[in-house]
Structure 1
Amino acid sequence: MKPFHTISVALAALLVACSGEQPVKTTAGGSLASCTTRSYEEIGGPFTLTNQDGVEVTEEDFKGRPTLIYFGFTYCPDVCPGTLVGIANAYRSLPEDIEPPQTLLISVDPERDTPEALKTYVASNAFPDNLVGLTGTPEQIAAVADEFFVGYDRIETPESAGDYTMDHTSLLYLMDEDWKLKTFFAEGDSNPEDMATCLAQLLRQ
């Protein structure tokens, strides 16, 4: 597992409590760093996962153009769909000459998020048109989460229809054409307008 102390400047990390509790924030200068100074070579790495069509893919399949990555799950009641809607709104706010990055939803709930479940979920008209859902074995999900310093935890909710929910880090990661982190967006500083401004600036470089 990648040690967090290898990152010289700490991330503004947000653990979303999808069980209904308040989010737990740890901030270390996140709001002070502009969108162009949030690139850490320690974040991001190789993976092997399965897309919503049941096809095995790796990071190599997404090289060649920028990629925006979000870790979430289909049973998430509000934070995940709200984030994906926000991404779609940001893309619509981009200048006409800027092509939106390809967009990945990596599930932290492989038990329920089968390719079939993801295929239905990512097809929502409210989400980005180019959204790809990725899942895998618990070991594969743990490995890719480790590469992106994503924390997640299963929370039992026996009183609910779903029996459990998943608390998880809520960050958006923008990878460049070579699968290197260009920036990240934390919850609270990634409204669609600001995200669009940042994306336009970085994607023009």
Structure 2
Amino acid sequence: MNKQFLIEQLNNIENAKRVNRLRVSNLVLKNPEIFPFLLDIVFDISDKTSIKAAWVLEFVCKEKLEWLTPYLDYFTENIGSIKQDSAVRPISKICEFIAKAYTSKNNSIVKDMLTKEHLDSIIETGFDWLISQHKVAVKAYTMTTLFLLGKNYDWVHQELKLIIQQNITKETAAYKARGKLTLALINKK
């Protein structure tokens, strides 16, 4: 299997229905040698297939987050280049997976391989997503990511709290709910 085969499979995804995303993510999970191609396609933002690749990457990382570790430099250097909301949402979810693995009590290769530069990039991009015009799912995942990473970076909670407080009155009900939860967790700490 090669990159062109994967592109063809991604192009056969008609819509964002779970069954369509699962079909291609299962293909990647059964053929790990095509994982690097998937990453390349995600960050080729000039091609509309990158959005579908981001959907699939989320599903693959949910199952095999450790596959991302050899590519953490590439991933964190490029996450800020993703602009389409349909692609930012799964990338923000992957950042949440990373934050959960990093702050987990369990040992993992993800925790071992993450550097300060990787974390700084995720935090910086997260704040960009939080203050930009993105849908609530991106902001909700980002609040969780920043809250978790803020356990190790004191200034992150202060900034996160400020942004949520500034925006909570003008955002959606879902944002308000996640914002209140996040503020309560920050205040509890």
TM-score, structure 2 as length reference: 0.26
TM-score, structure 1 as length reference: 0.24
Q: Tell me which of the two structures has the higher relative contact order, counting C-alpha pairs closer than 8 angstroms and 6 or more residues apart.
A: 1
Richer in strand (by share) = 1
